Amino acid sequence: MENLTYRKLSLADKPKLLGLDEAVLKELKERERQEFIIKYFSQYSCEELKQLFNKKRYIMLGALNGNTLDGALRLTIDQDDLAQYHEILGTDTKKCLFGNLMVRPEHRRQKIMTALAGHAIGEADKQQCETAVALIHAKNGPGLGIFEKLRFEPAGKMIEVAQQPYIVVTKEL
């Protein structure tokens, strides 16, 4: 979409993030994807929302269309939070983790997340991260496609999160 602004989100954007979260959850419920909701999607708790704007741990990025948040992505930069990935990947490079990727249902397949993830790579570079990491559910073909376009490569590892298989993809920065 042409009129989108991509930027870091601040605590003042919390209501917009909640609106996006609600829109995604509503669409999943309407499509009767209750099993998906239970296994893969949980709304933010009040504490999680506070933590998302902790600049020492995360960078929240958004795609805004005027006052509406059409997409969001969390970039985890706290190395203590990422310690498990040093072990999983067998490296001790400074990492960042892409997570909580969401796009409003009516704006999917418009390359919003691809653009947002590209901006996140720029932020990871600014944080002097050496390796970007993303976990993609094994059945999430579109999610994997986004990271393939950005030249992430499978790390040859699968991990389980909440008893679900996830593919680990990485990109050297």
Give 2-46 pLDDT, tens digit per residue.
689 999 999 899 899 989 988 888 887 776 655 554 455 555 666
What percent of the chain shows pLDDT beyond 70?
A: 88
User: Is 133 a residue whose pLDDT tops 50?
Assistant: yes
What is the pLDDT, as a whole number, of residue 88?
Answer: 85
| Domains of the chain, earliest start first | 5-172 (3.40.630.30)
Q: What mean pLDDT comes out for the span 45-59?
A: 79
Largest CA distance in the chain: 43
Q: What mean pLDDT comes out for the span 83-111?
A: 90
What is the pLDDT, as a whole number, of residue 38?
Answer: 47
Burial class (CB within 10 angstroms; exposed 0-12, middle 13-18, buried 19+) of 153: exposed
Maximum average pLDDT range among 38-42, 48-52, 132-136: 132-136
32 or 94, greater pLDDT: 94
Q: Quick one: pLDDT band at residue 100, thresholds 50, 70, 90?
A: confident
What percent of the chain shows pLDDT beyond 90?
A: 53
What is the pLDDT, as a whole number, of residue 32?
Answer: 61
Pick from 1, 44, 2: nearest CA to 24:
44
Q: What mean pLDDT comes out for the span 134-146?
A: 87
What is the pLDDT, as a whole number, of residue 26?
Answer: 83
- pTM value is 0.86
CB-CB contact of 64 with 5 (8 Å): yes
User: Is 131 a residue whose pLDDT tops 60?
Assistant: yes
CA distance 96 to 165: 20
